[in-house]
Amino acid sequence: GDSVTQMEGPVTLSEEAFLTINCTYTATGYPSLFWYVQYPGEGLQLLLKATKADDKGSNKGFEATYRKETTSFHLEKGSVQVSDSAVYFCALTPGGGSNYKLTFGKGTLLTVNP
């Protein structure tokens, strides 16, 4: 079945540092890929998405590129802020069939210190 593997945390960075959170996936066909963020005590919010190979999703300074050849969707940000501290989830929905449930990675806790 479909699966998502993301780097285990926690990740601790200083403000203005560069962030990479690795994510790879296993899926048949052409899944859509997502990064969701969960701030403490809140639900999940979509951060960005990409729906086909070579698409780049971007939002709030975060970027991720859909790489089909390496089945990856790594999240990057050039300069993190304290307010970026949260749990980040990589996820996919299948490209075919009729069930578009999200399959999530285990999540990566990011802590940014001032």
Q: What residues make contact with another protein under the rule CB under 8 A?
A: 31-32, 34, 36, 42-46, 49, 51, 89, 93-96, 98-107
Is the CB of 80 or the CB of 91 nearer to another protein? Answer: 91
Q: Residue 40 CB, nearest distance to another protein (Å)?
A: 12
Backbone CA torsion sign across 13, 77, 89, 24: negative
Toward another protein, which CB reaches closer, 48 or 80? 48
Cα–Cα distance for residue pair 51/9, rounded to 1 Å: 26
**Least spacing, CB of residue 114 vs another protein, in Å:** 28
| Contact (Cβ atoms closer than 8 angstroms) between residue 33 and residue 90 | yes
Q: Are 77 and 63 in contact (CB under 8 A)?
A: yes
Closest approach of another protein to the CB of residue 79, in Å:
26
What is the CA 92 to chain-centroid distance, rounded? Answer: 10
Q: Which is nearer to another protein, 33 or 80 (CB)?
A: 33
